[in-house]
Structure 1
């Protein structure tokens, strides 16, 4: 079985950027990707300098070509297990295929858990959105709704108010705003609808409104939501690496794998980058984190190789 210097698990921006840094350092690299990036439903990637609006699949195809052009390899598949062997790691795919490597770079991203409202999932990444920086320009000046499931929606609604004069906050399951928050919403001209949302109305492949319990429909053209995120890292359990809970002011954001500035996890030899470590990262910061992790892995390997070379050569000092 071929043993690679590094197996990169996940072929999005972080994984391909890390792989590129490694192959350009003459490392043998295998990228294993299951073809389900988080941003697959989006028409284009935004805030990516020189590539704004480019479809995600096109960016990743270009990235794979660059990695392969330097001698890297790419395999399709889903990693189900990663375990340590005598001098590195073995990863197993869903189809039973196994690969070995000296180091692992985990860039599998995350899963968005949507509020349980009929109609949301079908429009996710289209006119049901979460990030004003990723999708806000595309819904500018439209009738935008913000579905609140936590106090974080009070921050989110102000961001979308920057993009449209017609913004409505649906309190849904979020707690009642404070007096100060009510004043802020009123000052910005943000409408507030109390009561639970029953479903999203869709016609001609577009959102047309938000239906409340009781039947009233509030016309809307786009809906912003705050998802809960889950790191796609269950296959790391055999290595003892478990994602940790992330909170913001006591509000659960989701889970993520903890890393240092160079992407190293608490498990020696295992690095991670991108959304699996930072749910807020867009494509550019994810790519940057992948680059840093690739550099961290390369130096980690150099340190090991230098130690082994010195051990074989002895002290090297002249008598």
Structure 2
């Protein structure tokens, strides 16, 4: 069985960026990807300098070819377990295939858990969006709704107000705004609808409104939601690597793998980067984090190789 210097688990921006840096440093690298990136439903990637408007699949296809062009390998499959062996790691795929490596770079991203409202999932990544920086330009000047499930919606609704004069906050399951927040909403001309949302009204391939319990429909053309994010890291359990809860202003927003500034996890030899470590990272910072982690990982290998060389010379 071939033993690689590094197995990269996840072939998105962070993984391919890290793999590219490593193969250019003459490391043997295998990228394993299951073909389900977080941004697959989106038509285009934005805020990525020189690639704004490109589809996620286009960017990743180019990235794979760049990695392969320097001698890296790419395999399709879903990693279900990673275990430490005598001098490295063994990675197991869902089909039973196993691979071995000296180090691991985990860039599996995360899963967005949508609020339990019928109609949201079908329009996710289209006219149901979450990030005003990623999708705001595409819904500008439309009738935008913001579905609130936590106090974080107060931040989100103000961002979308910059993009449209017609913004409505649906309180849904979020707590009542404070007196100061009510004043801010009124000052910015943001309408507020109390009561739970029952479902999203859709005609053809477009959102037409938000249906409240009781049947009232508020016309809307786009809807912003807050998702709960879950790091895709369950396969690391055998290594003793667990995810940590991420909070913003005291509100739980999801889970992530904890790393240091160079992408090293608490488990020696395992590095991580991208959305699996930072739920807020867009494509460009994820790619940068992959590059940074590759640097840390490569020097970790060099440190080991130097130690072994010194020991061999002394023996």
Normalising by structure 2, we get a TM-score of 1.00
Aligned length: 315
| In structure 1, distance between residues paired with 2:63 and 2:50 | 15
Matches within 5 A, 1:24-173: 24-173=24-173
1 CA distance for matches of 2:55 and 2:250?
A: 36
Offset of residue 196 of structure 1: 0.2
Residues 23-49 of structure 1: per-residue CA shift (max 9 Å, x gap): 000000000000000000000000000
- Equivalent position of 2:187 in the other structure: 187
Matches within 5 A, 1:175-214: 175-214=175-214
Deviations 1:64-112 (CA, angstroms, capped at 9, x unpaired): 0000000000000000000000000000000000000000000000000
Structure 2, unmatched stretches of 5+, are none
Give me the whole-angstrom Cα distance separating, in 1, the residues matched to 2:155 and 2:249.
13
How far, CA to CA, are the matches of 2:160 and 2:246 in structure 1? Answer: 24
After TM superposition, what 4+ stretches of structure 1 lie above 4 angstroms from structure 2?
Answer: none
* Residue number in structure 2 paired with 1:232: 232
Name the CA distance, whole Å, in 2 between partners of 1:130 and 1:176.
21
Partner of 2:311: 311
Once the two structures are TM-superposed, the CA of residue 248 in structure 1 deviates from its matched residue by: 1.2
- Measured after TM superposition, the shift of residue 57 of structure 1 is 0.2
Aligned to 1:268: 268
Q: Residue in 2 aligned with 1:7?
A: 7
Measure, in 2, the Cα distance between the counterparts of 1:42 and 1:203: 20
| CA deviation map 1:95-153 (0-9, x unaligned) | 00000000000000000000000000000000000000000000000000000000000
Distance (whole Å) between structure 1 residues aligned to residue 178 and residue 262 of structure 2: 41
C-alpha distance in structure 2 between counterparts of 1:71 and 1:93, whole Å: 22
- Whole-angstrom CA distance in 2 between matches of 1:179 and 1:295: 49
Calculate the TM-score normalised by the size of structure 1. 0.98
> Which whole-Å CA distance do the structure 1 matches of 2:53 and 2:85 have between them?
43
- Tell me the distance in 1 between the aligned counterparts of 2:24 and 2:18: 10
Deviation at residue 249 of structure 1 after TM alignment = 1.8
CA displacement at 1:255 relative to structure 2: 0.2
Deviation at 1:204, TM superposition (A): 1.6
Distance 1:231 1:262 in 2: 19
2:240 is the counterpart of 1:217: no
Offset at 1:250? 1.5
SS of 2:280's partner is coil
Give the superposed CA RMSD.
Answer: 0.6
Equivalents in 2 of 1:199, 1:207: separation in Å? 11
Query: Deviation of residue 257 (structure 1)?
Result: 0.1
Q: Distance in 1 between matches of 2:250 and 2:274?
A: 23
Gaps of 5+ in 1: none
| 1:280 Cα deviation after fit | 0.1
- Alpha-carbon separation, structure 2, partners of 1:300 and 1:149: 43
Summarize deviations over 1:168-222 as a string: whole Å, max 9, x none. 0000000000000000000000000000000000112000000000000000000
| Alpha-carbon distance in structure 2 between the residues aligned to 1:248 and 1:53 | 30
Give SS of 1:310's match: helix
Instruction: Give the SS at the match of 1:118.
Output: coil
